[in-house]
Amino acid sequence: MHVPPPDPQRGEPRRIQRLPNGFVDLTDGVLTVGGGETVTIAARDVRGVIAREGKGSLFSRHPPAVLEIEYASGIGVARTRLLIPVDELPNARALAAQLDPAQGSR
């Protein structure tokens, strides 16, 4: 049975695998970053999201993709970079578009 991917316009739940062992999950307006200590961020606090390909180097010719999240935290802004598998990049870009349409196109 084929299950279609979540539709960003309808705000359906979305889960992305995170390296080395974790996940990024958007459900009911809450972004959860799991794997180690779990971080929960309200979607309204997200200031920007960028999903991009990783940069190759001498040590990594096939680097993982990167998901960058910027969000309000206390009185300031926190930024985090998460490594994700390259095959999760389209899902990460859809997540970015769902959270911030202006940033999702990058």
The Cα 3–Cα 1 span in angstroms is 6
Contact call for residues 24 and 83 (beta carbons, < 8 A): no
Contact call for residues 92 and 102 (beta carbons, < 8 A): no
CATH code for the domain in which residue 41 is found:
2.30.29.30
Question: What pLDDT is recorded for position 104?
Answer: 45
What are 23-39's pLDDT values in tens digits? 999 998 899 999 988 99
Name the pLDDT band for 14 (thresholds 50, 70, 90). confident
Find the domain containing 50 and state its range: 15-104
Instruction: Please say if the pLDDT value at position 11 is more than 90.
Output: no
Report the phi/psi class of residue 93: left, alpha or beta, with left for phi > 0 and alpha for psi in -120 to 50: alpha
Number of domains present in the structure of the chain: 1
Is the residue at 81 inside a domain? yes
Is the residue at 10 inside a domain? no
What are 74-88's pLDDT values in tens digits? 889 999 999 999 999
Is the residue at 4 inside a domain? no
Is the residue at 20 inside a domain? yes
Instruction: Look up the pTM and report it.
Output: 0.80
